Structure 1
Amino acid sequence: MKFFRKIITDVKARRHIEAYVVTLVVGSFAVVSVVDDIVPLSLKWAALLSGVGLLVYRITLPEDRDQGGDFLHDRASFDSVPISVAFANARDIRVFAPSAVNLLSPHACEILRTSVLNRRGGSVRVVILDPRETEAVKIASRQLDQSVRYQIQNLPGALESMIDRLGAMSGWQVAGSFGYRLFPYNPGFSLVIIDPETTHGRVIVEIHGFRNQSTFARMHLELTRERNERWYSYWIEQFESLWDAAAVTQRPAVSEQSPVDTVEAPD
């Protein structure tokens, strides 16, 4: 199935069309050549030489690269294409981060409200650390705050601010659905997933590391299904596993609820 899916993806993207055409022609000639004299010898030689010529030509080409460029970045890559721009055209956003305070700024949240959450079928799901897990937050803070040479924020304070922000977003009256959950410890990475079920889907993985010069110096991997289907699917599954294992949050007390994915938190 992966083989046929790759062919379909390549054809939609108009890549390697000449290779598929020559392969189809040569394959067809090979099949009908089982019966003698159906295909003239001249056509058989033409197909064979075309295949050899194409093979030699492709050897001279540089290794294929994704048109988006290198997939290894730091947060500076968002300066050229801000993440808020990607949010504005999306229908499905999934986020996991210790606090998500840098990603889900007030401006980014407003963009989510007027774009993704303003569409029927739009969905935003967020998982952050559970501030009630004090020991886990302390350990995460040692890694994320105390190991940064030029610290500008602290995790406990960021979590408190983000809990208030996400709680307010849960009460929005919007056409789409919004939900957030709380995870008990930091697994060492952050995730931003944008429209994962589409051909233009993106998965951005941030590796937290240790002794970073700054928060914005952490390594980012930007994956697409086209570039590496295995790891693209892997990180999507990672988010779903985090979402399923996280504690659901209490529904805010408002008169009319938007279709948020929140229920009373378990003990």
Structure 2
Amino acid sequence: MRALRRIASDVKARKNIEAYVITCVAGAFAVVSVVEDVVPISLKWAALLSGVGLLVYRLTIPDERDQKADFLHDRAAFDSVPIPVAFANARDVRIFAPSAVNLLSAHTCEVLRTSVLTRKGGSVRVIILDAREREAVSIASRQLDESVRFQVQRLPAALETMSERLKTMLGWQVSGSFDYRLFPYNPGFSLVIIDPETTHGRVIMEIHGYRNQSTFARMHLELTPERSERWYSHWIEQFEHLWEAAVTPNSGPVLRRASGDAGEARD
């Protein structure tokens, strides 16, 4: 009964129709072939070759389960191709994260300096939370720190560390361009975008969620133009919206009114 339900479900969804047709034809030929000469030998060979051809064809189709899971990861999945290695061959890197302290380690920053930023036209843009937005940082800390069972760092301290690191990087004398901005609140995700205007571009989105086992257990989505042109473009646009709304480090924090009116600088 389970097999019949699965077949009925497949037929309703128009899946594996060719396999069922060939199976029915081959089964019918097998039954009538019990009586000799009822089915011409040419038809028997046609059914046999059709079945073999279908089997060979289906070997070339990627497993749907593997295909669905191919872009769903946690941070451990990127150990096979570490982010610093991906940065080493890039020309355009865009990052948004609450603190980016896990991503932009001293080693990763050095990789950016000796690769992307050595290239004329190379570009690195980073957005982190604005530490001056104390209420927003406090709320983000409750989500990212207090809700994680095995936390190893705290957001306010991480922001302080990263702010100093980014200020130092801003003073580098390099061929490429480096810039960073500050965003007033945490929208609940992080982004790493590598060479988005190329055919080999990648968008890695991390969903922060709530009550994670650890920072490294958060769900990651890896998008490419081939996997989904729509969502690939969507998240690239999301970064640009964030960049436009973020402020430069030297400007004051922005007070955003609940009414949606334009903000004004705080004292």
Q: Normalised by the size of structure 2, how large is the TM-score?
A: 0.71
Shift of 1:249: 2.2
Query: 1:215 aligns to what?
Result: 215
In structure 2, C-alpha distance between the alignment counterparts of 1:90 and 1:64, rounded to whole Å: 31
In structure 1, C-alpha distance between the alignment counterparts of 2:207 and 2:213, rounded to whole Å: 14
> 1:91-146: per-residue Cα shift (whole Å, max 9, x none)?
00000000000000000000000000010000000000000000000000000000
Query: 1:126 aligns to what?
Result: 126
Aligned sequence identity (%): 74
Query: 2:7 aligns to what?
Result: none
In structure 2, C-alpha distance between the alignment counterparts of 1:220 and 1:124, rounded to whole Å: 21
Query: 1:189 aligns to what?
Result: 189
Runs of 4+ in 1 over 4 A off after TM superposition: 55-61, 63-67
Query: 2:199 aligns to what?
Result: 199
Query: 1:27 aligns to what?
Result: none
In structure 2, C-alpha distance between the alignment counterparts of 1:228 and 1:135, rounded to whole Å: 36
| Pairs within 5 Å for 1:1-267 | 61-63=60-62, 70-250=70-250, 267=265
**Number of residues of Structure 1 aligned to a counterpart in Structure 2:** 200
1:248 counterpart SS class: coil
Shift of 1:63: 4.3
- Unaligned 5+ segments in structure 2 are 1-52, 252-263
In structure 1, C-alpha distance between the alignment counterparts of 2:179 and 2:168, rounded to whole Å: 11
Shift of 1:62: 2.5
In structure 1, C-alpha distance between the alignment counterparts of 2:150 and 2:156, rounded to whole Å: 17
2:70 counterpart SS class: coil
1:197 counterpart SS class: coil
Q: 1:85 to 1:249 in 2, by over 3 A?
A: same
Q: What letter corresponds to residue 235 of structure 2 in structure 1?
A: W
> 1:137-185: per-residue Cα shift (whole Å, max 9, x none)?
0000000000000110000000000000000000000000000000000
- Unaligned 5+ segments in structure 1 are 1-54, 252-265
2:180 counterpart SS class: strand
In structure 2, C-alpha distance between the alignment counterparts of 1:250 and 1:120, rounded to whole Å: 26
In structure 1, C-alpha distance between the alignment counterparts of 2:63 and 2:225, rounded to whole Å: 15
In structure 1, C-alpha distance between the alignment counterparts of 2:238 and 2:62, rounded to whole Å: 30
Q: Normalised by the size of structure 1, how large is the TM-score?
A: 0.71
Shift of 1:229: 0.3
Q: What letter corresponds to residue 101 of structure 1 in structure 2?
A: V
Shift of 1:80: 1.2
In structure 1, C-alpha distance between the alignment counterparts of 2:185 and 2:60, rounded to whole Å: 47
Query: 1:44 aligns to what?
Result: none
